[in-house]
Amino acid sequence: MFAPDLIGRDFTAPRPGMRFVGDMTELSTLEGKVYLATCIDLATREVVGWAMADHHRAELPVAALRMAAGRGGLEQGCVMRTDRGSECTSDEFSSKIRKLRMRQSMGRVGSCYDNAAAESWFVILKAEIGTTMWETREAARADVFRYVEVEYNRSRLRRHPDYGYITPLETRSLLQEAPGRVRRPRPESLDLRAGSTSTSHPHRGTGRVDRLHASRD
């Protein structure tokens, strides 16, 4: 079942829980392919749901949705944007969308730009995870877990137009704490904007910085 395009190429949201994008990619292992499905909150760019399997049937993106819902914060009537792949046009996926009281949205056929926010995240993952071939599917799953839940959501710095360089989890916390309130960037954010080579923070590990994908990409 095809769904209308509800957001165009406006990959932003004023607060968490309003707009999500999702997609799937494949990773290579010596045991064969393993597939990854994601659900990303456009307000924070946090990966709130993800799932991996040795297949790419509809139950895979459904599992990613289930994780996102389990973490809470889905507003009633929020939008889930995907491409028009068979998994996301399936009755199983559409049924899960309705059950979660979300609204389904799809880009145009053959237009990668209509789902650029979801697809660009896979580019970041594959560039930073540092592995192109794993020995086993379980090893790939362990590395993806570490990257998503530790390195990306909790440690990766990304420029927010109001708060400066902060992580996805910090973005969610700030937006939920004071929705609509604009705060001055923190000192280290100003240093980064001025071209400082330091990207670390005393409480944030390595602190990778996403300079290429600004908050309104």
Output the CA–CA distances (angstroms, integers) from residue 91 to 5, 47, 59, 109, in the order listed: 18, 24, 11, 18
Q: Which two tokens stand for residue 47?
A: 């990966």
Q: Is the model more confident about 49 or about 109?
A: 49
pLDDT at 111: 63
Q: What is the pLDDT of residue 73?
A: 85
Domains, the chain, ordered by start: 19-116+128-178 (3.30.420.10)
At residue 135, does pLDDT exceed 60?
yes
Q: Which residues contact 184 (CB under 8 A, 6 or more apart)?
A: none
pLDDT (mean) for 151-179: 91
Residue 140 has pLDDT above 70, yes or no: yes
Q: Is the pLDDT of residue 217 over 90?
A: no
Alpha-carbon gap, residue 144 to 165, rounded angstroms? 23
Mean per-residue pLDDT over the chain, rounded: 84
pLDDT tens digits, residue range 76-105?
999 999 988 899 999 999 999 999 999 999
Q: What is the pLDDT of residue 24?
A: 96
Kindly state the percentage of the chain with pLDDT values over 90.
66
**Worst-scoring range by mean pLDDT, 37-46, 90-99, 116-125, 203-212?**
203-212
CA–CA gap between residue 206 and residue 104 (Å, rounded):
36
